[in-house]
Structure 1
Amino acid sequence: MTNDDAVGSQQYTTSRLAAVSGYSVQQIRDLERLEVIPPAARQPNGYRQFTSVHVTALRAYRQLAIAVGPVIARATMREIRHVPYDKAVARIVALHVDLARSRDDTIVALHALDSIVEETAQDAPPAPGDTMSITQLSTALGVRSSTLRFWEQEGLFTPDRAEHLSARRYPPGAVNDARIVAALRAGGYRIPAVKAVMASLRTIDGTSNAREALRDRLTSIAARSEALLRAGADFSDLLCSFAVSNQLADSG
């Protein structure tokens, strides 16, 4: 690859870059202002002059935004242009690792739900007064008591309390709900999403909706991972271009 190839010898006006990339003229200006793409050169008449590097950057950004969301995508595009080559590569690799970890967490959550169903089917009917204290439940779930209190405040499950200030006691139904909440949280679900799932579980059978939600998450992670893979070749070209540009700037 020559230096001219690396920094992008083909030239584009803003309108032509918009036509090639699928972004609007205003979006391109905004993305340049946000440093998602490198700054354009200016012609004597003040018009922007873009290159093939900008085409590659816009294509990479589109897939990256699908993979990790626009906020992280914008920050990543800014970062990789200014850090050394090895750090830029590591930054992209870290995004793959994060998605792989999300997938692993979701699979763990699915297995946890399956265990809950299996154990519930094998358990004997609960005896009257068969409850757990907040300490017992927090230990069983591997979370802090404060976490259980927060989940309770969010309406995710409700303990038994004979009086307003009495100690919390969790009957089997509340314990089961708490385990489902813990599984969903372990799978990466935020509180609003968990709240929606738990609300539906109260009107529809048990863990079926929770399983469906986690399977949908696996599908989403797969699509996001594919988008990141599609951006791979563009990132390889971009990082080489940035490295050459930085070397030329340093030598100048």
Structure 2
Amino acid sequence: MDGGDLRTVDVAAASGYSVQQVRNLERLGVIPVAVRGANGYRRYGPLHVRALHAYRALAVAAGPVAARRLLTDAWSGTLAEAAAAIGEVHTGLARERELTLRAQEALRAIRGEVQTYETDSSADSMTITELAGALRVRPSTLRFWEDEGLVLPERVTSLKARRYGPSAVAAARIVAALRAAGYGVPAVREVMGALDRLDGPGSAAYLLGRRLDDIAARTVALLRAGADLAAVVEARR
């Protein structure tokens, strides 16, 4: 890349990064190496600024590690490879949104069930195999949830076989919904602790709503990066 008339301090002011951050991102390959002037100082061009804007938005959309990898690959790869990598970020966000919406649907379906399970003495219990089949998970997954304190079965003492009553079944459905939406065990444990309070399903629904808001913000950031990313990608042609 040809050098321009921008000093490091100019690029920092235009991109919102500090002078040191600009140098660090250059060292990491997020922007191309600057041309050195006759006086030995770095000289940058407008494309460096656009690349930094693209990186900032990508870091919001996909995380700083993925953003750094995408930009460094964009400078060294082909146009097709760069376009495919950007497309994968879009696809990933769409997939996250789809899973979260599915989790919301699952929570809506079990709201009434969770509100009544404590008083429903007529409901049948389920074996670990039956519950795993109903949730489309492996029995080992239910054992893992038990180890983590997320879903506690009732045990048949004489056979030491797990059986899940209505409360455990309802809890398992919430855990399955949250895990399908990408929530880690600590976050799921927080929600399950809310089941002991007034509105456990409501707490889960709130977290899923927050996740949708986060996905939307990341999607907007990716759209904001569009023109700058296009300039970076086309510079490789």
CA–CA separation in structure 2 for the residues paired with 1:153 and 1:42: 59
The one of 21, 24, 41 aligned to 2:35: 41
Identity %: 50
The one of 30, 39, 42 aligned to 2:24: 30
Paired AA for residue 235 in structure 2: S
CA–CA separation in structure 2 for the residues paired with 1:126 and 1:12: 75
Match of 2:76 in 1: 82
Match of 2:121 in 1: 126
Match of 2:90 in 1: 96
Match of 2:166 in 1: 172
Deviation at 1:169, TM superposition (A): 1.2
Quick one: structure 1 residues 218 and 58, their matched pair in 2 at CA, closer, same or farther if it must change by over 3 Å? same
1:195 aligns to 2:189 (yes or no): yes
1:237 aligns to 2:219 (yes or no): no
Deviation at 1:240, TM superposition (A): 0.8
Task: Give a deviation string over 1:8-28, Cα, whole Å, max 9, x none.
Answer: 764211111111111001111
Paired AA for residue 137 in structure 1: L
CA–CA separation in structure 1 for the residues paired with 2:150 and 2:169: 11
Is the contact made by 1:133 and 1:169 (CA closer than 8 Å) also made in structure 2?
Answer: yes
Deviation at 1:187, TM superposition (A): 1.3
Match of 1:225 in 2: 219
Report the secondary structure of 1:12's partner residue.
coil
Q: Which structure 1 residue ranges, 4+ long, deviate > 3 Å from structure 2?
A: 7-10, 118-124, 162-165
Deviation at 1:95, TM superposition (A): 0.5
Report the secondary structure of 2:161's partner residue.
coil
CA–CA separation in structure 1 for the residues paired with 2:149 and 2:116: 28
Is the contact made by 1:8 and 1:53 (CA closer than 8 Å) also made in structure 2?
Answer: no
Match of 1:61 in 2: 55
CA–CA separation in structure 1 for the residues paired with 2:105 and 2:208: 10
CA–CA separation in structure 1 for the residues paired with 2:27 and 2:184: 32
Report the secondary structure of 2:234's partner residue.
helix
Quick one: structure 1 residues 164 and 103, their matched pair in 2 at CA, closer, same or farther if it must change by over 3 Å? farther
Deviation at 1:183, TM superposition (A): 0.4
For normalisation by structure 2, the TM-score amounts to 0.92
Quick one: structure 1 residues 186 and 152, their matched pair in 2 at CA, closer, same or farther if it must change by over 3 Å? same
Match of 2:153 in 1: 159
CA–CA separation in structure 2 for the residues paired with 1:92 and 1:126: 53
- Segments of structure 2 that go 5 or more residues without pairing to the other structure are none
Paired AA for residue 120 in structure 2: P
CA–CA separation in structure 2 for the residues paired with 1:164 and 1:17: 73
Paired AA for residue 27 in structure 2: R
Quick one: structure 1 residues 170 and 64, their matched pair in 2 at CA, closer, same or farther if it must change by over 3 Å? same
CA–CA separation in structure 2 for the residues paired with 1:164 and 1:236: 67
Which deviates more, 28-37 or 174-183? 28-37
Deviation at 1:163, TM superposition (A): 4.5
Deviation at 1:224, TM superposition (A): 0.5
Is the contact made by 1:159 and 1:170 (CA closer than 8 Å) also made in structure 2?
Answer: yes
Q: Number of residues paired by the alignment?
A: 236
Report the secondary structure of 1:39's partner residue.
coil
CA–CA separation in structure 2 for the residues paired with 1:132 and 1:219: 36
Paired AA for residue 182 in structure 2: G
For normalisation by structure 1, the TM-score amounts to 0.87
Report the secondary structure of 2:43's partner residue.
strand
Tell me the C-alpha RMSD between the 2 structures.
Answer: 2.1
Paired AA for residue 141 in structure 1: L
Is the contact made by 1:106 and 1:187 (CA closer than 8 Å) also made in structure 2?
Answer: yes
CA–CA separation in structure 2 for the residues paired with 1:55 and 1:173: 56
